[in-house]
Amino acid sequence: MAPDVVTDPLQVALVVAEALERYGLRYLAGGSLASSVSGEPRSTLNVDLVVEMTEDDVGPPVAALAMRSTSMNARSVARCGRGPA
């Protein structure tokens, strides 16, 4: 059975934060989500997270999140911190 798809930005952030915390990874939220939580509502539907991780850290949380989304893969996440190819 396929997992329920989470589409609410706050719920998405909570699902990702749970996976990051499970593996002891430090992160911060920014953008409209952080602004709205801090009291300045904005209406974009994205989640901006910055995560402190090495390439070795990528696999476990990505595997956990892959159970919730088919669009997540470790290769894409690992490339994010390296800059342009």
Residue-wise pLDDT tens digits, 14-59: 888 999 999 999 999 888 877 777 777 777 777 888 899 888 888 8
Query: Is the pTM above the cut of 0.75?
Result: no
Task: Provide the β-strand partners of residue 29.
Answer: 49
